């Protein structure tokens, strides 16, 4: 089932009397989540992700705008009738109930034709438990399980009514790094198997990128970009999106476009073919860590003199397959930033060298207006 938002807005009154302004938690959402896809809602803390989920499931009513499930306007339909399964940010299992009863819980209040016998409920609970592979734990209580297992119980509980939409609010935030990766792959598998339209909230860009079919990047209630993870990474619409995606983060410098050339300080880093007909102006230049290319000198050694971009070498960190080259630059957007370039470990870099010099892969260089921070090139 697809979910469509039309001008969806949620404003909260500000409780701080000194500041009259309202908080706009969700600001005119207008877009569509395609049927059967997993969409990652990504943004910093407080940007409105949980509010957006609460609007979809009906726990909050919008100040303005409409929500549609396929062609049905569900804006005024109460939460319990929307057919939505939700895993909350704090996944809150009932501590006094065992796994079976926790999973069965949403089935107990069904009325009329939907009402089930105990046997039917147990069968449904087992079915949901099998999807998340916890069928052996049905008699345990939450405090007798690991965080990851509890997480799966919460997902099974959200799945048990076979919802039309599954909403997951930071479902992995309480897990350790390894379990996080394992569980996120699990969520992807479950979503693939069930084909339930799923919205997955996270502030972790790597998590969103790794499992989403589409990501929605938010800030201050507003959508900044929607696209496939790789598209958003390769074609960010503005400086915020470019900075939010990628580890290590994009390196940002102040520079200028001058006579068809892109310059940082005294260096001309890219020429006319790249700049084309963008007018002269001050800009921010973002370079992804993998966009730096080390150039070899004549004798096959890196002499630190050949590239179009030179910087002060701070450290060389060899990390197996890759080497991280840490450097500083006088034209950093934020003074004193330690920048990082990621190059293959095949490169031999002299850590004693004062200067490191790179060529640049133009596909990994983005130019933003200094005024609007929108992307120019
Ligand atoms: N009931 C409420 N009353 C007033 N303001 C609220 C209410 N709920 C949320 N807000 C405000 O709305 C904004 C968005 O909150 P929300 O919980 O949706 O953010 P979030 O993106 O989920 O953040 P996090 O990553 O920290 O969970 C915040 O500024 C928050 O303080
Ligand atoms: Mg939240």
Q: Write down the mean pLDDT value for the chain.
A: 91
On the question of pLDDT at 372 being above 60, the answer is yes
* Pocket residue to mutate for ligand 1, from 11, 14, 25, 171, most atoms within 8 A of Cβ: 25
Q: Does residue 277 register a pLDDT over 90?
A: no
CATH of domain 3-244: 3.40.50.300
The ligand 1 site (C-beta within 6 Å) comprises: 12, 23, 25, 43, 45-51, 89, 203
Compute the distance from residue 220 Cα to the ligand 2 centre, in Å.
13
- Spacing of C-alpha 374 from chain mean position: 20
User: Does position 15 have pLDDT exceeding 80, yes or no?
Assistant: no
Tell which atom from ligand 1 comes closest to the C-alpha of 48: 18
Write out pLDDT tens, residues 250-261: 999 999 999 999
Q: Closest ligand 1 atom to the C-alpha of 51?
A: 18
Q: Atom of ligand 1 at shortest distance to CA of 13?
A: 4
Structure confidence at residue 300 as a pLDDT band (50, 70, 90): very low
* Ligand minimally distant from the alpha carbon of residue 25: 1
The pLDDT tens digits for 195-205 are 999 999 998 99
Quick one: which ligand is closest to 54's CA? 1
Please choose from 17, 23, 27, 89 the residue to mutate so as to test ligand 1's pocket, defined by most ligand atoms within 8 A of CB: 23
Per-domain boundaries in the chain: 3-244, 251-369
Average pLDDT score over residue span 92-113:
91
Residue-wise pLDDT tens digits, 112-124: 888 999 999 999 9
CA 231 to centroid of ligand 2, rounded, Å = 25
pLDDT of residue 296: 60
Query: For the residues 140-161, what does the mean pLDDT come to?
Result: 90
Percent of the chain with pLDDT over 70: 96
Distance in Å, CA 49 to ligand 2 centroid = 6
| Ligand 1 atom 17: residue of nearest CA | 50
Q: In which band, very low, low, confident or very high, does the pLDDT at 302 lie, cut at 50, 70 and 90? A: low
Residue nearest to atom 12 of ligand 1 (CA): 25
Please give the distance, rounded to the nearest whole angstrom, from the Cα atom of residue 358 to the centre of ligand 1: 43
Identify which has the larger pLDDT, 373 or 170.
373
Print the SS3 string covering the chain: CCEEEEEEEEEECCCCCCCCCCEEEEEEEEEEECCCCEEEEECCCCCCHHHHHHHHHCCCCCCEEEEEECCEECCCCCHHHCCEEEECCCCCCCCCCCHHHHHHHHHCCCCHHHCCCHHHHHHHHHHHHHHCCCHHHCCCCHHHCCHHHHHHHHHHHHHCCCCCEEEEECCCCCCCHHHHHHHHHHHHHHHHHHCCEEEEEECCHHHHHHHCCEEEEEECCEEEEEECHHHHHHCCCEHHHHHHCCCCCCEEEEEEEECCEEEECCEEEECHHHHCCCCCEEEEEEECHHHEEECCCCCCCCCCCCCCEEEEEEEEEEECCEEEEEEECCCECCCCCCEEEEEECCCCCCCCCCEEEEEECHHHEEEEECCCCEECC
Quote the ligand 1 centre to 49 CA distance (angstroms): 8
Residue nearest to atom 11 of ligand 1 (CA): 25
| Ligand whose nearest atom lies closest to the CA of 49 | 1
* Nearest Cα residue to atom 8 of ligand 1: 51
pLDDT of residue 110: 83
366 CA distance to ligand 2 centroid (A)? 30
Mutate-to-test residue for ligand 1 from 48, 87, 222, highest number of ligand atoms within 8 A of CB: 48
Residue 187: predicted pLDDT: 87
Model pLDDT for residues 170-193, shown as the tens digit of each residue: 888 777 788 788 888 888 988 998
At 26 the pLDDT is 97
Ligand nearest to the CA of 19: 1
Q: What ligand is nearest to the CA atom of residue 169? A: 2
pLDDT value of residue 186: 84
- pLDDT band, residue 298 (cuts 50/70/90): very low
- Cα(154) to centroid of ligand 2, in Å? 17
Instruction: Output the CA 78–ligand 1 centroid distance in Å.
Output: 21
């Amino acid at each position: 089932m697809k979910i469509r938002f039309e001008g969806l807005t949620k404003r909260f009154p500000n409780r701080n009397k000194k500041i009259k302004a309202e908080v706009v938690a969700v600001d005119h959402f207008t877009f569509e989540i395609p049927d059967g896809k997993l969409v990652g809602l990504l943004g910093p803390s407080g940007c409105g992700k949980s509010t957006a989920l609460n609007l979809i499931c009906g726990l909050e009513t919008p100040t303005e705008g409409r929500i549609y499930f396929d062609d049905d306007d569900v804006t005024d339909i109460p939460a319990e009738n929307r057919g939505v399964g939700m895993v909350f940010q704090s996944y809150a299992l009932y501590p006094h109930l065992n796994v079976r009863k926790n999973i069965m819980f949403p089935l107990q209040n069904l009325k009329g034709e939907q009402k089930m016998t105990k046997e039917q409920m147990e069968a449904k609970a087992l079915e949901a438990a099998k999807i998340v592979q916890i069928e052996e734990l049905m008699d345990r209580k939450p405090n007798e399980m690991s965080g990851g297992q509890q997480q799966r119980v919460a997902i099974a509980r959200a799945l048990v009514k076979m919802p039309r939409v599954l909403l997951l609010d930071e479902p992995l935030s309480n897990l350790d790094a390894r379990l996080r990766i394992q569980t996120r792959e699990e969520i992807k598998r479950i979503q693939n198997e069930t084909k339930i339209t799923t919205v997955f909230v996270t502030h972790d860009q790597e998590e969103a990128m790794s499992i989403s079919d589409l990501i929605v990047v938010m800030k201050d209630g507003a959508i900044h970009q929607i696209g496939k993870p790789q598209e958003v990474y390769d074609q960010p619409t503005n400086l915020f999106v470019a900075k939010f995606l990628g580890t290590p983060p994009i390196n940002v410098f102040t520079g200028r476009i001058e006579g068809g050339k892109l310059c940082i300080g005294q260096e001309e880093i890219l020429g006319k073919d790249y700049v084309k007909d963008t007018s002269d102006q001050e800009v921010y230049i973002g370079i992804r860590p993998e966009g730096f290319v080390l150039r070899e000198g004549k004798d096959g050694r890196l002499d630190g003199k050949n590239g179009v971009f030179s910087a002060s070498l701070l450290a060389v960190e060899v990390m197996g397959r890759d080497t991280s080259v840490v450097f500083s630059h006088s034209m950093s957007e934020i003074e004193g930033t330690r920048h990082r370039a990621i190059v293959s470990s095949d490169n031999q870099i002299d850590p004693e060298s004062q200067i490191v010099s790179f060529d640049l892969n133009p596909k990994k260089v983005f130019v933003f207006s200094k005024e609007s921070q929108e992307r120019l090139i």
